[in-house]
Structure 1
Amino acid sequence: MTKPLNILVTGTSRGIGAAIRTALTGHNLVGHSTRGSDGEIAADFGDTDQVTALWWEAMGRLGGRIDVVVNNAGMFEAVPIEQGDEVWLGGWERTMQVNLTASAALCRLAVLHFREKGGGRIVNMASRAAYRGDSPQHWHYAASKAGMIGMTKTIARGYAAENILAFAVCPGFTMTGMAEDYVESRGGAKLLADIPLGRVAMPEEVAETVRWLAVDAPPSATGTVIDVNGASFVR
């Protein structure tokens, strides 16, 4: 195995994040969750000050050096347009803050740090929705993930010469508790019929993609976006 890396992964308490944590066994990993548990750093991504505090806490735990940041934390909240202006806009702003702004804050801190340390890697968790859109109740979710793609490509193009690499992963439906509820609410078998593979992705499949990008992907792959959606959307 390659020399152990110092890695910060957000949203590691369950689902894809927990699988990423397992996939990166052998590296020096600091995880995060909203409440903090099992050694994870607690930070509410609705508060950018807590995101900044997360970075510095992780730096302290990892001896002042971070080699890889994986932005996995996010939320998926339905907000129908029929709801009132205040509710709908509140849902939009909350999702943008948690899914995009918090990740952007960590990306900025990572880029500044990587410049001092001679490089590093960022892996951002986007979604199939960034390209194909999502349900009418999830404008904000699709927009936040499209923003994640734009940010990732900008970082890749802007800092590759400094050995700062950026990648994104776009899962479709993944078999987490959140996805199971959503699949059932959307008709179950009918939704699965839209996936040529015939099933949703497993968290371990997404996690292995993240692991490869974080550890083994060649530098020339910077800016890459990898789909993990059973061919339900191909570009």
Structure 2
Amino acid sequence: MSYILVTGSSRGIGKAARESLEARGLKIIGHATQDGGDDTIAADFRDPMAAQFLWNEALARSGGDIIAVVNNAGLFEANSLDSSDIEWLDRWEDTLRINLTAAAQISRFAVRHWQGRLAGKSGERGRLVHVASRAAYRGDSPAHWHYAAAKGGMVAMHKTIARAYGAEGILSFAVTPGFTDTSMAGDYLASRGGAGLLADIPLGRVATPEEIASIITYCALDAPSSMTGAVIDANGASFVR
């Protein structure tokens, strides 16, 4: 039985992605900051060693048969320009570590693992799916420099991986949602005027976690290999490229 590792799988997009992938018959190894279980590993990405612990534990539980990784774990908290210097820096570093550095660590471990595996009949060795954000392209609020920077870095990292390892059968995809109906986005929507913010979304509503999960599932299982390097927008036309 093949496994997929999904980070940040305890709620929101990650939980929906887990359920969508399980519905396709895949075994999922989940991740949460706290409260791991038989099929969920606890790892706090603020700790520089947490990503390596998560990967090693996931590899052991799967018997080495991880076919895809979904980098979904994220932190979205305000960082006021007027906060103290140390508070501003702490929030910047926490956000970059959780949203980007941990994803980079896990991606590196996965690429190295897949490089040592035989390719399947399709020539593939493994797939990475990165959950970024429209903020990677259009930026974010004045209190979210760090979040936009992390997601921009994730997209650049994804493109680099796709170009570097496609010939080895290691594929990379990215999804860039806009606002999604999760608790994380809900707090932000409320702080920015709630329903009034929807005027910026031509579709007239935010995405559901299930919609983003369906894109993640497609990338992890169904997208043709020639799509490696693609970034799929899902923001209700609030940002178009």
TM-based fold match above 0.5: yes
> What TM bracket, shorter-length normalisation?
over 0.9
- 1:86 is displaced (CA, Å) by 1.0
| Contact preservation (8 Å) 2:131, 2:175 | yes
> For residues 163-204 of structure 1, what are the alpha-carbon distances to aligned partners after superposition, in whole Å with 9 as ceiling and x for unaligned?
000010000000011212211211122200100100000000
- 1:28 is displaced (CA, Å) by 1.3
Among candidates 9, 12, 20, match of residue 9 of structure 2: 12
Q: Give the stretch that moved more between structures: 142-151 or 170-179.
A: 170-179
4+ residue runs of structure 1 moved beyond 6 angstroms? none
| Contact preservation (8 Å) 1:173, 1:229 | yes
- 1:155 is displaced (CA, Å) by 0.1
Count of aligned residue pairs for this structure pair = 232
**Corresponding residue for 2:29?**
30
Among candidates 211, 219, 225, match of residue 217 of structure 2: 211
| Structure 1 residues without counterparts, runs of 5 or longer | none
**Corresponding residue for 1:72?**
72
CA distance in 1 between partners of 2:9 and 2:145 (Å): 25
CA distance in 1 between partners of 2:113 and 2:174 (Å): 20
CA distance in 1 between partners of 2:36 and 2:84 (Å): 36
- 1:37 is displaced (CA, Å) by 3.7
**Corresponding residue for 2:237?**
231
Give the counterpart letter for 2:30 in structure 1. G
Give the counterpart letter for 1:59 in structure 2. L
Let me know the Cα RMSD of the aligned residues.
1.0
CA distance in 2 between partners of 1:101 and 1:216 (Å): 27
CA distance in 1 between partners of 2:64 and 2:180 (Å): 34
Identity %: 59
**Corresponding residue for 1:62?**
62
**Corresponding residue for 2:185?**
179
Give the counterpart letter for 1:109 in structure 2. F
| Structure 2 residues without counterparts, runs of 5 or longer | 120-124
Give the counterpart letter for 1:97 in structure 2. R
| SS of corresponding position for 1:31 | strand
- 1:125 is displaced (CA, Å) by 0.7
CA distance in 1 between partners of 2:183 and 2:95 (Å): 19
> For residues 9-67 of structure 1, what are the alpha-carbon distances to aligned partners after superposition, in whole Å with 9 as ceiling and x for unaligned?
00000011100011001101100001134531000111121210110111111111211
- 1:113 is displaced (CA, Å) by 0.6
